[in-house]
């Protein structure tokens, strides 16, 4: 199994995690996807290496999140009720 980690900004709650996971699952050949709004990332398990750019594009295009490749910075608390 290959593990690919994609950094995702903009997830604020469990529902955001589900949207990102569903978007990646629906577009890429993966075995498992685990998104975490607290870590700001989605961890993807697949049989073969994935194109990380394609994974980022799926999370961005289908789930309306902002993806980035750089390492995460300090965690900021976010309020799901704030817009």
Q: What is the side-by-side order of every strand in the sheet holding 66-68? A: 32-36, 41-46, 2-9, 66-68
Rounded Cα–Cα distance for residues 59 and 25 (Å): 10
Residue burial 16-25, b: 16+ Cβ < 10 Å; e: rest: bbebbbebbe
- Is the pTM higher than 0.75? The answer reads no
Cα 14 from chain centroid? 12
Task: For 15-74, write each residue's pLDDT tens digit.
Answer: 889 988 988 888 888 899 999 999 999 888 888 887 767 666 665 665 455 555 433 334
Per-residue confidence (pLDDT) for residue 69, from 0 to 100:
46
């Amino acid at each position: 199994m290959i593990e690919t980690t994609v950094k995702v900004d903009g997830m604020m709650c469990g529902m955001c995690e589900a949207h990102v996971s569903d978007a990646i699952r629906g577009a890429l050949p993966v075995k498992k996807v685990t998104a975490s709004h607290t870590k700001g990332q989605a961890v993807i398990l697949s049989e073969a290496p994935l194109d990380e750019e394609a994974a980022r594009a799926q999370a961005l295009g289908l789930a309306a999140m902002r993806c980035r490749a750089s390492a995460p910075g300090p965690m900021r608390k976010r309020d799901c009720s704030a817009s």
